[in-house]
Amino acid sequence: MKAVAIRNYGSPEVMNIEEIGQPAVADDELLVRVRYSSVNPIDWKIRNGSLRLLVRSRFPMTLGFDIAGEVVDEGRSVRGFKGGDRVLGILSLGQRGAYAEYVRTRENNVVMMSGNIDFREAAAIPLAGLTAYQALHGKGRIRSGQTVLINGASGGVGSFAVQIARAAGASVTAVCGTNNIELVKTLGAERVIDYRKQDFTQSPERYDIIFDAVGMLSFFKVRRNLTDSGRYVTTLPNVSNIVGFVVIPVLSLFGYRKKSAFVSVKPDSADLGRLMLLVKEMKLIPLIDRVFGFEEIREAHAYSEKGHARGKIVIRIS
């Protein structure tokens, strides 16, 4: 089978399509023919070596976490899937390898696709959608009637977060650039702040949840914008946030109720199923910026690294 392999850290040029052996499934695994995958920032951060201290890598390595395709084989103990099933899912951090024609994965990492989306749309959902869902529901404990601010609302994670927050009954304020204001309104944002013209941290407005979908802020920068029991959730544990994770539990002993949390996405078929329900109910629509062919994987990574994608970048594998 064909797969994108890298043999050393570096620019997008280190990625090459090679012929490798098709994986064999264990008793508790599925073999999925990958139709589409997608690019996430973690992919190129692994590729360029930025995460080498956090992510153990052995070369040659195949990148990619999101899969959408068809089950072609299943292990003896698999009960929930059979050949021909249309599935989407997320590979674990230790496994990865979605930039390939076939992948093996455990059945609790995938779910059946909703009938009202195709493989292209399905591939946009797993990692970014789970990150947004687990940030808001798991870490943020979102409830109907709350006020939520999404920083980076037009990106892959942010575009899902706006829709998930609205589906939960929250009032959403979105932060994005000038060119994306109308876009995030269509996703469900009731109010939009153009970060080029206004710094929301200098505003007196307060929110029950502030979700930093691009990891550009810190708890100490936004703490005044949180309600007395508000929660700040980030996708990037920078130095300031790490300090906050240590200090805030101590302050809580003295009645301080504001919280800070870091979301690290976890493969979870139950959460994927909840996302599929939102898709089925038309409350969650994947926002796709561009679709690249398998042979255009270098261009797809280069485009993602520019940081201007509106929604997700999808890769057509087969």
Q: Which domain CATH number covers 10?
A: 3.90.180.10
The arithmetic mean of pLDDT across residues 243-251, rounded, is: 60
Pairwise pLDDT comparison (105 vs 261), residue with the higher score: 105
Domain assignment of residue 275, yes or no: no
**191 and 117 share a domain?**
no
Let me know if 195 is exposed, middle or buried by CB neighbors in 10 A (0-12, 13-18, 19+). Answer: middle
Q: pLDDT tier at 155 (50, 70, 90 boundaries)? A: very high
Q: Among the listed ranges 42-46, 55-59, 109-113, which one has the minimum average pLDDT value?
A: 55-59
Domain assignment of residue 270, yes or no: no
For residue 238, the model assigns a pLDDT of 62
**215 and 112 share a domain?**
no
**239 and 119 share a domain?**
no
**150 and 169 share a domain?**
yes
**72 and 158 share a domain?**
no
| Domain CATH for 155 | 3.40.50.720
**156 and 229 share a domain?**
yes
DSSP state of 25: P
**64 and 133 share a domain?**
no
Q: What is the Cα–Cα distance from 11 to 317, expressed in whole angstroms? A: 21
pTM of the predicted model as reported, rounded to 2 decimal places: 0.94
Pairwise pLDDT comparison (246 vs 314), residue with the higher score: 314
For residue 244, the model assigns a pLDDT of 56
Residues contacting 188, CB < 8 A, separation 6+ = 162, 163, 165, 166, 172
Range of the domain at 200: 128-262
**121 and 132 share a domain?**
no
Domain assignment of residue 276, yes or no: no
**118 and 155 share a domain?**
no
For residue 239, the model assigns a pLDDT of 52
The arithmetic mean of pLDDT across residues 245-268, rounded, is: 73
Domain assignment of residue 272, yes or no: no
For residue 46, the model assigns a pLDDT of 95
Beta bridge partners of 232: 210, 260
Q: Token digits for 292?
A: 């690249």
Q: pLDDT tier at 94 (50, 70, 90 boundaries)? A: confident
Domain assignment of residue 55, yes or no: yes
Domain assignment of residue 279, yes or no: no
For residue 43, the model assigns a pLDDT of 97
Q: What are the DSSP calls for 105-157, one per residue? A: EEGGGEEEPPTTS-HHHHHTSHHHHHHHHIIIIIIS---TT-EEEEETTTBHH
**143 and 121 share a domain?**
no
**171 and 59 share a domain?**
no
Q: What is the Cα–Cα distance from 42 to 51, expressed in whole angstroms? A: 8
Domain assignment of residue 277, yes or no: no
Q: Are 66 and 90 in contact (CB under 8 A)?
A: yes
**132 and 152 share a domain?**
yes
Q: What is the Cα–Cα distance from 60 to 8, expressed in whole angstroms? A: 8
Q: How many domains does the chain have?
A: 2
Q: How many C-beta atoms lie closer than 10 Å to residue 143's C-beta?
A: 12
